[in-house]
Amino acid sequence: MTEEFNLTIKDYVSSFRPTWCPGCGNFSQYRAIRQALVELEIPPEEIVVVSGIGCSSHMPNFLDTYGLQTVHGRGIPVATGIRLANPELTVLVYGGDGDIYGIGGNHFLHACRRNVDIITIVSNNFVYGLTTGQASATTPVGTITRTTPRGSIENPINPVAVALSAGATFVARAFSGDLKHLSWVLKEAIAHRGFAYVDVLSPCITFNRNQTFDYFRDKVFKVEDDNHDIENLHDAIDYANQLSVQDRLPIGIFYQIENKTTYEERDFALNQGVIPAQASLELTDEQIETITKEFY
């Protein structure tokens, strides 16, 4: 496809320019997503990007693909519907930690266990960025924010550990300050068959002065450098629980397994070869009469 149409990352750029703060980690994710799609040779018309609400959730506006910005926290169920309607599409969900872990945490949990063949990318900056820096589900204890002026008293969620425990078949973490590694992780996630989830450590340079680029650069290390077996769930959980260790913060593919059936493969209609988006909507007079009788 890339040879025939000569796709480049510019082919995924829409007419809308990104509106993020200069230096925001979302910019590198924007680049990495496009790079991954080029390398996988997926043309823009075969891609749908779905988001909720938030700074990062403006991503569908900036990519020249099909896209939809939905209600806060509801990107995953909408993406699931799109995927079930047309499993020939590559469906990506993109949002922030407040959007997907906080407001949409229930949908995140159930998508993991269902193993829907979609990709969920979370720009995790440990605050609600769009609404000027309130505490989110991943904000560390003691952090002073607009909603926690005396310091957050809530234990933060460990989303990678949650995804592993809930049954996600691809679980990874990346860092927006390492573009090459981020692009590789996203490429592997998009190519995966089943629910793929990537937590991206992405500093909010305006409202979070604690988890900065320098903060992460001093702590991150790649699990592949440890010769990690990505099919070993127990080791993956051990890596996920290193989030609280101050001097070691693992990134990379924690877990990936390909021998699990997807939600689509268990769906009765899709098993019969029916693709809803391509099915005829024409009804016979008899069918119309049967339906309308219900409303008499």
- The closest of 145, 222, 238 to 181, measured between CA atoms, is 222
- Which residue did the predictor score with more confidence, 164 or 294? 164
Beta bridge partners of 201: 124, 175
Q: Is the pLDDT of residue 253 over 60?
A: yes
Supply the mean pLDDT for the chain.
93
For the stretch 204-235, pLDDT in tens is 999 999 999 999 999 999 999 999 999 999 99
- The closest of 174, 176, 171 to 197, measured between CA atoms, is 171
Torsion of CA 248, 252, 258, 263, to 10 degrees: 90
Name the token pair of 117.
Answer: 């063949």
For the stretch 64-105, pLDDT in tens is 999 999 999 999 999 999 999 999 999 999 999 999 999 999
pLDDT band at 278; cut points 50, 70, 90 = confident
Count the alpha carbons within 13 Å of 245 in the hemisphere toward its beta carbon: 12
pLDDT band at 2; cut points 50, 70, 90 = very low
What DSSP state is assigned to residue 100? I
Percent of the chain with pLDDT over 70: 97
pLDDT band at 268; cut points 50, 70, 90 = confident
For the stretch 39-59, pLDDT in tens is 999 999 999 999 999 999 999
Instruction: Calculate the CA 209 to chain-centre distance.
Output: 24
Name the token pair of 62.
Answer: 């900036």
Cα separation, 167 vs 148, whole angstroms? 33
Domains and CATH numbers, the chain: 2-293 (3.40.50.970)
DSSP 208-250: -SSS-HHHHHTTEEEGGGGT--TT-HHHHHHHHGGGG-TT-EE
